[in-house]
Amino acid sequence: MARWYPGAVGAKKESGLRRSDALSAGWLKSGTQCRQDLRVAAFTYMGMAQPRLAGLSGLSFALHGPASALSFIPSALQPPPAQLSNTVNFSLTLNQFLLRHALTLGLVAVFTWTFASWRSHTSNPSTSHAQFWTEFQPLLVASDPNSNTPVRIKNAESVGFDPKNTDPLPDLLRLTREDVSNMRLAHSKFIDSIQPTQPRLHYQPHTRGLVSTAGGTYLPVLVISLRMLRQSGSTLPMEVFLANWDEYDGYVCQVVLPSLNAQCVVLSEILDAITDSKSAIEKYQYKVFAMMFSSFEEILFLDADAFSLQDPEVLFNSDPFLSKGLVTWPDFWRPTTSPLYYEIVSQDPKPKKTDEKQPNPAMIRQSTESGEVLLSKRTHARTLLLAAYYNFYGPSHYYPLLSQGAAGEGDKETFVAAAIALNEPFYQVSEPIRAVGRGTPDGFAGSTMVQYNPIEDYILTKKGEWRIKGASVPPPQPFFVHVNFPKFNPATVFTDGGPVVDERGKYTRAWTAPEDVVDAFGGKKTEKAYWKEILWTACALEGKSISWKGRTDICSKTADYWSTIFEPEGQTYDLI
């Protein structure tokens, strides 16, 4: 049966849709014409046999054996029947239901897919963002550092943060005096060019939302994280930035994400406002550009593999965000910023006792883990633009200057560095990040990081109770879980010796140690909830997501893990 995929005009028998494929076949058009064709295609689809609709509820069937977890899957998200042979007993067949209600379901299809296409801006990015890029990109180019890339003697050691550590910063980069002078002039020139009134970031005033970057193998991971976040009660909209049309997944972007109040935005459609400008931007630089081109005034950026345990909207309504406008979270490590950076930005790396603002972080705070960033564009537009400058020239200059090759070198230090350079306020959570994983014969295998509630942390530090400095007070509650390594993509996570398969080749839980952290964020209950969303995603996207093209074992393998670890054999489970 030929199936119609939202985002395309006509029918296609493949499990996803790249823009290049659609364009060559005449299936994908842009703007108003695409929306008009979408309505025609939806009506055409009504006449097809057995339409599969996202969001269909009320049908259940019992499953037994390894697939016992799958007692309900919306019809659009069912795996092919062959996957569930000898395991499914229908209480009411899908065919009977659909035949009885074909007209109603057809109308739902028209509304659902028309609305999904209307919500999606992937094929017609905001002209305001493109206009901003035509103004901002020349400023980046005009402030080229005009310097050689710093020469690295060796990489800085990754040393755990200790506030009592008074060792000087490592000094492992070399630049000539001329290069330092040129970089200082370029940095000063760029700051002068980003005045509060020009160029003006485009966003919708009085809005807030979530921003992430994904694409390819990260899209299924993003779906898992977003579904987990929705379990917290959050209804905040999300914009998911893809690098280009090669990363576009028609089924995820036009069916799954709209059902979760999220939409895809193709970054190259904005960057193409200036010919070849996207070629200078690599994937590890996308984060700041996604934040910059998002439509929200207040944003919470989350990596694709991070989610909150509580509704994150509370963070926007409380200090420290209300008073600071920028909130970041810590990494494990002591900062390793090069002394040359402070010379370039004309700063003293030593904090001054008379400085009322948060002193330079190089001496008193952890390095930054940028999987979660909370920022107001209204108050910190210049910080965001300077962070974009640091990222634009990051690989060649500012990444080494800010990290000197220590763990995680990349965009993570650019946000706080930009705020400090502009003397704009920020707050970095002081409660140390914690690693979560499982015990192994060799000790510990971490896969996940836990970050803490900034509101509770701020209340403590305002009273001078810094737990990181030894204060004996209860810790803030865990707030974010960042499942950073390896990615819990159900197509790849079941590897021997990985987070869920032990050294004997047996399934195991991933989050069992350390017990105090695991217990604090919900232990097995939270882990089970997370795997519920992994299972849903595995069975919903198999046969439909382009990143899993040709794979037929993802749903069954994930169901087998679920039934082994979380459900006794023979029980049914509602996957809703």
The tens-digit pLDDT sequence of the chain (576 residues) is 332 223 322 223 333 334 444 333 333 333 333 333 333 333 333 333 323 333 333 323 233 333 333 333 343 344 444 443 333 333 334 344 334 444 444 444 444 444 444 444 343 446 889 999 999 999 999 999 999 999 999 999 999 999 888 888 899 999 999 999 999 999 999 999 998 777 899 999 999 999 999 989 999 999 999 999 999 999 999 999 999 999 999 999 999 999 999 999 999 999 999 987 767 788 779 999 999 999 999 999 999 999 999 999 999 999 999 999 999 999 999 999 999 999 999 876 665 554 444 444 456 789 999 999 999 999 999 999 999 999 999 999 999 999 999 999 999 999 999 999 999 999 999 999 999 999 998 899 999 999 999 999 999 999 999 999 898 999 999 999 999 999 999 999 998 878 999 989 999 999 999 999 999 999 999 999 999 999 999 999 999 999 999 999 999 999 999 999 998 655 555 554
pLDDT of residue 73: 38
pLDDT of residue 496: 82
Tokens of 389: 């400058």
Do 509 and 565 contact (CB within 8 A), yes or no?
yes
Do 99 and 159 contact (CB within 8 A), yes or no?
no
Tokens of 53: 């609709």
pLDDT of residue 196: 78
CB atoms closer than 10 angstroms to residue 558: 26
pTM above 0.85, yes or no: no
Cα separation, 444 vs 23, in Å, equals 49
| Domain assignments of the chain as residue spans, ordered by start | 19-119, 434-539
Cα separation, 227 vs 307, in Å, equals 9
How many residues would you count in the chain? Answer: 576
Edge-to-edge strands, sheet with 368-376: 262-266, 238-242, 204-213, 296-302, 368-376, 326-330, 427-428
pLDDT of residue 168: 87
pLDDT of residue 16: 38
Write down the H helix ranges in 47-155: 94-100, 102-119, 127-142
